[in-house]
Structure 1
């Protein structure tokens, strides 16, 4: 009897832990808000070190968009890469981050996944924030990882 009660208590604690884990997940409305905010920045100018609508670099765009949804992210691409959980391409959800390598080092570019194979990028000096297919050869060739910072 005592063993059965202990087992039931252990199962209950495990299930309560599962319920707590699920309760910290970001609601779909937050993902939707991130997507809408990212789309709202399309056409804004690129500016190295920029983190406002007056001009964005890639990690500044990500930090700004997430902040509008009430989520604090670090400033640099490498810091953003380090804080999330790596996910497979087939697990991508709107709001996930896509990381790319153009130069040396682990990553040096980040974009926000919108869904349907599209992402928002602040690509380079002299350009503006854009939406681009993740399947374009230019992006596929440089892709490193998908990362989920929303849980």
Structure 2
């Protein structure tokens, strides 16, 4: 009976600790400038908890181009995307999801109805290296990351999977002779030529589509060309179409008009359909590319729709919706090409 009573008291104490106001445990600090690759871009209001800096999650998301932000009130879960990858995290959870990979992070905190993440968690979630610069009190973002700070629960295998490289390449980049690593250790990421994502796991369900009459592929290209000249916005939402697109909202919007439902991000779209060799490409196939200036992990970062003759229509950050001719011979797109998928058989 005494033992059960002690367990009951311990449980009550734990519940009280977990539900106690978080505001009692944080320290307000001055507003900080936030710089990306050395260029000051905005201001942000951090807090300090247990000696660590935490920054507002939604503010940081928008600064980094993750403009599609959704919040599930009942679970206090955020989902954000930049059009390439979906990031999901729940308040208090130490595991977050980036694409189809799980990341170990410091538990996000809920303070004054605002979600805060540590600088290390921000680094993992956004494929960046985020740190505090005491010389001027600023938050610095190295994007894409060339290094990674080890989190509790990490192994070299988990880190290599998240960055689309191998344990051997990680060890070589850091001169490691053992696989033993420890939280807080900063690892160099392998050169970008050694980080390249292959085709993501295929969806278990077929692509949703409504039966169509006529030449669906040709009609798809006709529809796609109607939006040439539309502007580009990183992480654009479908509500902003057809005025603004990012690469995956554009393909989603175009295919939807032929009754074909594609998911939101380029990486999710890469998981659908059938792999096609470049020698067998036909109109309407999707072409996938990495974006080394945005992501150091070699992930799918861009896509477009193949047009007969070796061309591609797509929404790019530099030109909006346009056609790139002889795309696989293009000096930029050719070297960053990953694979092709057929959605319309």
Q: TM-score, normalised by structure 1?
A: 0.78
Q: Is 1:70 equivalent to 2:228 in the alignment?
A: no
Distance verdict in 2 for CA 1:27–1:148, change over 3 Å? farther
Deviation at 1:115, TM superposition (A): 1.0
Q: Which residue of 2 aligns with 1:132?
A: 324
Aligned equivalent of 1:109, options 288, 296, 302 = 302
Deviation at 1:150, TM superposition (A): 1.2
Distance 2:265 2:320 in 1: 19
Structure with larger Rg: 2
SS at match of 2:219: helix
Q: Is 1:46 equivalent to 2:232 in the alignment?
A: yes
Distance 1:36 1:106 in 2: 30
Deviation at 1:106, TM superposition (A): 2.7
Aligned equivalent of 2:283, options 69, 94, 108 = 94
CA offset digits 1:38-82 (Å, max 9, x no partner)? 111111000122231110000000000000111111110011000
Q: Which residue of 1 aligns with 2:99?
A: none
Q: Any conservation in 2 of the 1:26–1:150 contact (CA below 8 Å)?
A: no
Q: Give RMSD over aligned pairs.
A: 1.9
Please list, as runs of the form range in 1=range in 2, the aligned pairs for 1:132-151 lying within 5 A after superposition: 132-133=324-325, 134=327, 135-151=329-345
Deviation at 1:26, TM superposition (A): 7.5
Q: Any conservation in 1 of the 2:249–2:264 contact (CA below 8 Å)?
A: yes
Q: Is 1:83 equivalent to 2:272 in the alignment?
A: yes
Q: Any conservation in 2 of the 1:121–1:129 contact (CA below 8 Å)?
A: yes
Deviation at 1:28, TM superposition (A): 6.1
Distance verdict in 2 for CA 1:26–1:92, change over 3 Å? farther
Report the count of equivalent residues.
127
Aligned equivalent of 2:313, options 120, 135, 138 = 120
Q: Any conservation in 1 of the 2:247–2:315 contact (CA below 8 Å)?
A: yes
SS at match of 1:59: helix
Q: Which has the higher contact order (CA 8 A, sep 6+)?
A: 1
Distance 1:80 1:65 in 2: 13
Q: Give the unaligned 5+ runs of structure 2.
A: 1-210
Between Structure 1 and Structure 2, the one with more helix by share is 1
Q: TM-score, normalised by structure 2?
A: 0.35
Distance 1:27 1:112 in 2: 20
Q: Give the unaligned 5+ runs of structure 1.
A: 1-24
Q: Any conservation in 1 of the 2:285–2:305 contact (CA below 8 Å)?
A: yes
